[in-house]
Amino acid sequence: MRVIDSHTGGMPTRVILDGVPDLGTGTLAEQARRLATEHERFYKSVLLEPRGQPGMVGALLVKPVSPECAAGVIYFDADAVLGMCGHGTIGLAVTLAHLGRIKPGCHKIETPVGVVEVDLKDDGTVTVTNVESRRVCKDATIEVDGLGTVTGDVAYGGNWFFIVDPSPIPVTASNIRRLTDAAIAVRSAANAAGIGGEGGEPIDHVIFQGPSDDAAVHSRNFVLCPDDTYDRSPCGTGSSARLACLAAGGRLEPGEEIIQESVIGSPYHLSYQPGPNGGVIPAISGRAYVIAECTLRFGALDPFRDGIKP
């Protein structure tokens, strides 16, 4: 299986070029459901150690259904198939340019949750125009073991988020273990309480927001992903959900740009425009770097052919 690895703000993406299972026909959402339900062994083997690494997201290149799109992609981490991935889309754009499949300019990418647009600049900066994002619930209150009463907003940015602002723990790199444990507890409590999307969708990500030491930076975040690792980047879909909350609360005007920093200090530039359905159309700008090209092998006698199960 040929793959190309990149990182966006420190968060790794593995683009899979070939050797993939047959996902049949239909929409990308239908193909993504087949990947999740029929090929779990495959996608976990690509990202689990020893081939993968904690935090890595897979980007499975597929033929787009829409002829206007330069590529189709299905994202997944070691725990779940994802609807969308912002850092992965930035990494995908840089990888497609590395392969000579796209040039600087605007291109459409089809994902299971809809078509997004990437604007690739000559210097390698990528701006992703994401799907419409929205705040679903303001000030949802839950009881969390070890934290007590926690209040947060539920928002959609391509995945489902519970956003806590301010964070109950300082958002610093030295607190990553504490933040991870607390975010896992918050997600469990939110899902146990039935808090999530309008259609009953569960919370899959948790965001803790805190201040930055840099006056030019709007805020710093810690983002828990479905596989219980943290996002090294500021999280594209999480930043989209955050923009929806800021807009709904009248805390950010359309077109106004802010810098969102991750827990390890990597930045995204963010802005939005009003969406047609009452939400926001986010724009997320960041940089990705190709770091490896390789062929993954799955030996029949390899005891860890399917990865090391946590």
At 239 the three-state DSSP class reads helix
Q: Which residues are catalytic?
A: 85, 235
Residues making up the chain, counted from first to last: 310
> 242 and 207 in contact (C-beta within 8 Å)?
yes
Report yes or no: 150 and 137 within 8 Å, Cβ to Cβ.
no
Q: Which backbone phi and psi does 31 adopt, to 5 degrees?
A: -65, -40
How many angstroms separate the CA atoms of 37 and 39, rounded? Answer: 6
67: how many CB neighbours lie within 10 A of its CB? 5
Give the rounded distance of the alpha carbon of 249 from its chain centre. Answer: 23
Calpha distance 194→83 (Å, rounded):
20
